[in-house]
Every structure is written in C-alpha cells, then in structure tokens.
Amino acid sequence: MKIRILSATAFFLLLLVLWEVAVRVGWVNHLLMPAPSDVVLYLYHAIADGTLVSAALVTLKRLLLGYLTGIIIGLPLGLLTARFKICQDTIGLLALGLQTLPSVCWVPLALLWFGQTESAMFFVVVMGTLWSVVIATDTGVRTIPPIYARAARTMGSRGLHTWVYVMLPASLPFIVSGMKQGWAFAWRSLMAAEIYVTILTGFGLGHLLHYGRELQAMDQVVGVMLVIVIIGLLADKILFSPWERFLHRRWGTQGK
C-alpha cells in the first residue's frame, strides 16, 4: 500500500513539474494553459476571500437536493419496473432511452419551463439522477437468485413484505452502483445548468467556470475544474467505494 501511494505521488509530482516547466520555457502558451503555480495562487486567493468556498457550498446544496430527490423517485419506479411487465415495457423503456440522453440536453428545456430559477437547476439534476437509479434498481432485482424469493415464501413472507425485506436488501449492491453512477450524472447535469443558467440566488462552481472563460482567466478555469475533480473523487472514496465494498462482501458477490 505504501509503495502504491509513493508511486502515485511521484507520478503526479512529475506531471506537475513537467507542466510547470513547459509553461515557463514557452512550450505551452500561458494564456491558454496556466502554470500549476498560477492555479495554486488563484485557489489560495479564492479560498481566502471566500469566493470558492461559497460557490462550492451553493453547488453542493443544489446537487444534494436534486440527487436525493432523484433517488427517492427512482427507487420505487425501479421496483415497479422489475415487478410488473407493463412497467418494464413503459417506464423501463423510457428510463433506458432518457438515460442515454446527454445531461446538457435538459438545460434548454428547463430554461423554457422554469426560466432562470433554482427550479431549472433542480429539474436538470433530478433528470440526471433519476433514470440511472431506475435502471440500476431494476437490474439489481432481476439479478437476484430466485431461491431468495422461494425461501422467503416458504417462511411465510408474501407481497410487499418480500419486496421490502428480501428483494430490496438483496439488490443493494447494484442499487449503490446505480446511485454512484447517478451521482456522476448529477454532477455533470448541474455543471451544465450552472454554466447556462444565471441566477442571483447563488453563484456555484459552474458560474465561476463560466466567468473565468468570459474573462479569459485560465487560472480560474483550471482551478475550478480541479476543485470539481477533487470533490468528485472525495465523494467516491468517502461515500460510495466503502459502501460498495461492504455490501459486496456482505452479500458474497466478490472476494474479500
């Protein structure tokens, strides 16, 4: 483990040094790609004056609200899709089609329906999350060994009880994977929405990214992109990866 950490650290340090040197000696135009030291300087000032922290909190608030709503709606829809053939042919087909739609495609529709409002942001994030959760829940339930349901019926479980206490828990490893994918799609959806939707109720990371482009402040653009990547990695490493490993070990779907 220590060797892996050292190797990864050395790789990224070497990458940063090469990047810095390439900009300083003129191999790369600094107006198009700033040096790492310039990016670090921007991040320092943006954190010091509170701009970056405020924008990150606004973005995370929007993300969590839309993401949790997408999960709350998507879970029962996924269970219905797995349970009833008619739902599979309707909701399942709709989810499969809309899940392939790029997140940015929802932005024009949200602007026409809701205008430059928080509701437009909310709608785009929900649409980015919902269909991944529906498909993951449906897939998770369908991959459960039939012996589980038969054993539950043998012990007296029927109807809703079987679905709540047997089918849903058994499909959790797949549902968590779908939630992880939904988080990634929600991130992308929100960034697209914040770039195109300008509202006065709060400026998020997408707005900082957009204004950096407008001002040709590439240190700001790259700095905000770096923050977005870091938040995504932290969410994966802290929230989803440990949960996935625990569930797969608990349900015996992977080796220890």
- The residue extents of the domains of the chain are 1-32, 34-250
pLDDT attached to residue 255: 44
Burial of 81 (0-12, 13-18, 19+ CB in 10 A): buried
Structure tokens at 75: 């879970």
Max Cα–Cα distance, the chain, nearest Å: 75
The answer to whether 65 touches 59, Cβ cutoff 8 Å, is: no
Q: Which amino acid is at 247?
A: L
Structure tokens at 191: 């960034």
pLDDT attached to residue 69: 93
pLDDT attached to residue 193: 85
Structure tokens at 82: 């797995």
The answer to whether 121 touches 190, Cβ cutoff 8 Å, is: yes
CA distance 250 to 245: 8
pLDDT attached to residue 104: 81
Supply angle C-alpha 234, 237, 243, rounded to 5: 130
pLDDT attached to residue 253: 56
Structure tokens at 176: 């968590």
pTM of the complete model beyond 0.85: no
pLDDT attached to residue 251: 63
At the topology level, CATH places domain 34-250 in MetI-like fold (1.10.3720)
pLDDT in tens, the chain (256 residues): 678 778 878 888 888 888 888 888 888 777 778 888 888 998 999 899 888 898 889 899 989 999 999 999 988 898 888 878 898 889 888 888 888 888 788 888 888 898 888 888 899 999 988 888 888 888 877 777 777 777 777 877 777 777 777 777 777 777 787 788 888 888 888 888 888 877 766 788 888 888 888 888 888 888 999 998 888 888 878 877 777 777 767 666 554 4
